[in-house]
Every structure is written in C-alpha cells, then in structure tokens.
C-alpha cells in the first residue's frame, strides 16, 4: 500500500446503506498515510453522521453547497483542486444518474463537475436497480468520460435479496487505488499517441467519402492509456463519441489533417494507429456545392499512409508502433504483409465482414501479429477489455 502514502483523497459519501463501509475506507486510507477529506450528501447523513466521519478523518466534513462560510472559500473549486483523486463510495443509483447528466445541485455533484482529477465510483444498490437499463446507460456514459468503476460485487444484500450490487469491500477498493497510483508513478513519463475514427475526404463543401469506422476501439485504447498514467493524445476523425477527461483530444476531418496533427504531436513512446484512414482523397475538390446534372466522374488520388510514414521514419518513430488491419478475407496473409511493409511492432487484425464485431460494435475479436512472427488469437470481448489488454502489453514492453 506504499503508493497511498501522502496522497490526498476526496471521499464523497452518498446515501446508501453501504455508507457504513465508507467509514472503514477512511480508516484504511488514514492508516496507509493518506489525507482524507469527505463530502456527505444530504441523504448520506441519514446513514452515517458527520461526527463519525470527522472523528475518523480528523478533517472538517463538507456537506452544504450554499453555506456562507464554505462559499467564501469556494469549496466546490478548491476541494476539487486540492485532491489527487475523487472517490465516490457508495455511488448510489441516484448519484450515478445525477452525475451522468452533469447535474450540480449540491456540493458533491458540483465538485465532480468542476473537477480536473480522476474520478472513481464504487456503486452500491439493489440488484434490480443495478441491472436496470437506465443505470447501465448512465454508468456507460460516465465510463465514456473516463470515470473508473470499482465493482460492485455479487452477494447477499442489506435488503435481503441476492445479486450484483454490493459495494466492493473497503480493502479491495484501497488496493485498486493503490494500483492506480502505482501505475501513474510508473507510466507518467510515457507519451502515447492514438489515431481513431474514420476520415472524411470532401468532394465539395457538403459531400464526402468515408467509411464505417465508429472510433470506439481507439477511444477505448486512449481511455485505458490515460487511466494507466500515460500522457495521452488522441487524434480523432469525426465520431459521435464523448471527449475523455484527461486525454488531449485533437479533432480532424481528413487524412491530411490527421497526418499533420500526428507530426505535430510526436515524439511519443508509443503510437497506436487505429484510425480507418481513407486511402484516397478527391483530386479536385470543388469549392462550391456541385449541382445535380449528368453523371460525374470523380478523380481520386492516394492519401499519405500515416502509419507507414511514421514507422519508417528514422527520427520520428516511437519505440512501439502498433497498426490495425481491417480485413474481410485472407486475414493472416494480409496482416503479415502490413506488419512488414508498414514496419510495425504489432498489427492488431480484425475481420470486419462479421458485423457483431469490429466497426460500430462494442465488441471486437482480434489476432495480434508480432514482429517476431508470433501470432496471438484473442477471444471475442468488449472493446474496453481489449484496450486494457493491449495497454498492459504495451506497459510490459516499455518497462
């Protein structure tokens, strides 16, 4: 637990029966050398008293957004700047719902909205509430912003039912935070660059050529790099995905813009080229909207291959260069050709002919081809999990 020592933790306790476990979280954090300040929501005070919290934390307890004393010191800003991270434990269904809409009608939600720090949620609720599609959707939204979720666990609940929704045990929560601080310490010196999404190659001001890429896999990789402590830049073509807190997002349209943004953001220790860059651009892009007439011929010219350019560059090449291969046939053969022609350390290949994986899906099934000619086939899994696996491999290679 060495990594907890001297850290500043802001613990937000929301109103659920598991709030009693939050007292143990405070005790353990203090035992391992952290400073802990706590915010209690209005309903949390029905479950634990400010007196217990202040006695254990040895700090003032914060609870009211509109007190003269607190607001003269701008608590909602100063608390979010003071801490190294924010832990919401328990995070009730109501708190998760409020946070997912950006609500800020009390100190807890305002501090989170104003925060520039990593946010961890330890959900706790009845199994039916946990399984409700609205809770799932709200939590997914928060995950997309880069919030990290600890648990919940499966077991007997205070309400007498059994299932998933129990707040993770305090010791496991502390272990999770300890590992987070350890990763930050180990990886904060590393710079990562990720390209994601499709590119739009304009024909005229309103029409373009593009492809089906959603950008999801690249965004998940950027999210995972960020939570593992990397200084992460994400160069993204047009997508519908949320901005990830803590990641430097550069939005581009065309392959040419993506190439320029990539050059501007090197050097990096690792570059992961997950974008589905359009291979061609329109040769003579019209300045005005083309009027409907007879058939037209579009003349296309090749775009620069960003991955190839960088990985074959003497001075710009990052230590680890990872490319993707989207294939509908001859996956092994084509991936191996890309691995060698594009001078990559690994190629992550997926079969995009199956619509349950790859483009637009939340799932992916890939094979990784390494430059030592080894191949690793991974089972179908969520893109977020695959991202974590890829980042874990990157970390072990860099260290």
158-166, Cβ contacts within 8 angstroms, sequence gap of 24 or more: 158/17, 158/18, 159/126, 161/126, 161/127, 161/128, 162/127, 163/127, 163/128, 163/130, 163/131, 164/127, 164/130, 164/131, 165/123, 165/124, 165/125, 165/126, 165/127, 165/129, 165/130, 166/18, 166/124
- Cα–chain center distance at 291: 43
Closest approach of Cβ 346 to ligand CTP, in Å? 10
E strand or H helix that includes residue 219? helix 216-227
* Helical ranges in 265-382 per DSSP H: 306-311, 331-341
Closest approach of Cβ 281 to ligand CTP, in Å? 10
* Helix (H/G/I), strand (E/B), else coil: 333: helix
Residue 60 CA to residue 35 CA, distance in Å, equals 12
Rg (CA), the chain: 24
Which residues make up the interface to ligand CTP (CB under 6 A)?
Answer: 195, 255, 273, 275-277, 279, 303, 305-307, 323-326, 338
Of residues 139 and 235, the one with the C-beta less far from ligand CTP = 235
Closest approach of Cβ 373 to ligand CTP, in Å? 19
One of 38, 83, 159, 344 is an active-site residue; which one?
159
Of residues 275 and 368, the one with the C-beta less far from ligand CTP = 275
Paired strand residues for 363: 382
- Residues shown for the chain: 399
Closest approach of Cβ 307 to ligand CTP, in Å? 3
Residue 139 CA to residue 377 CA, distance in Å, equals 30
- Known catalytic membership, residue 344: no
Closest approach of Cβ 264 to ligand CTP, in Å? 15
The catalytic residues are 159
């Amino acid at each position: 637990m060495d990594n907890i020592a001297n850290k500043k933790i802001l613990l937000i306790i929301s109103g659920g029966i598991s709030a009693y476990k939050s007292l143990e979280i405070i005790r353990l954090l203090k035992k391992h050398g952290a400073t802990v300040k706590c915010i209690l929501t209005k309903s949390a005070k029905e479950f634990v008293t400010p007196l217990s919290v202040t006695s254990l934390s040895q700090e003032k307890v914060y609870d009211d957004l509109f007190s003269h004393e607190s607001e003269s010191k701008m608590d909602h800003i100063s608390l979010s700047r003071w801490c190294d991270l924010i832990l919401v434990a328990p995070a009730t269904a109501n708190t998760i719902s409020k946070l997912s809409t950006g609500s800020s009608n009390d100190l807890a939600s305002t501090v989170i909205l104003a925060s520039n720090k990593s946010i961890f949620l330890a959900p706790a609720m009845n199994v039916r509430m946990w399984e409700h599609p609205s809770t799932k959707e709200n939590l997914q939204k928060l995950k997309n912003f880069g919030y990290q979720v600890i648990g919940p666990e499966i077991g007997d609940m205070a309400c007498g039912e059994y299932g998933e929704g129990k707040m993770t045990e305090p010791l496991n929560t502390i272990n999770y935070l300890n590992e987070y601080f350890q990763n930050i310490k180990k990886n904060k010196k590393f710079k990562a660059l990720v390209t994601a999404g499709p590119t739009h190659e304009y024909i005229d001001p309103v029409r373009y050529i593009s492809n089906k890429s959603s950008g999801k896999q690249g965004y998940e990789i950027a999210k995972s790099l960020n939570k593992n402590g990397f200084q992460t830049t994400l160069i993204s073509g047009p997508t519908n995905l949320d901005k990830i807190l803590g990641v430097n997002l550069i939005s581009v349209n065309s392959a040419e813009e993506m190439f320029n943004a990539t050059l501007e953001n090197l050097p990096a220790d690792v570059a992961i080229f997950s974008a589905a860059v359009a291979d061609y651009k329109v040769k003579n892009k019209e300045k005005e909207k083309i009027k409907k007439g007879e058939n037209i011929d579009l003349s296309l010219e090749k775009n620069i291959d960003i991955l190839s350019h960088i990985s074959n560059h003497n001075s710009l090449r990052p230590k680890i260069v990872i490319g993707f291969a989207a294939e509908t046939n001859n996956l092994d053969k084509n991936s191996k050709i890309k691995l060698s022609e594009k001078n990559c350390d690994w190629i992550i290949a997926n079969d995009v002919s199956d619509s349950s994986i790859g483009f637009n899906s939340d799932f992916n099934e890939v094979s990784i081809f390494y430059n030592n000619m080894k191949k690793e086939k991974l089972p179908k899994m969520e893109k977020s999990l695959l991202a974590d696996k890829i980042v874990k491999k990157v970390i072990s290679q860099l260290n």
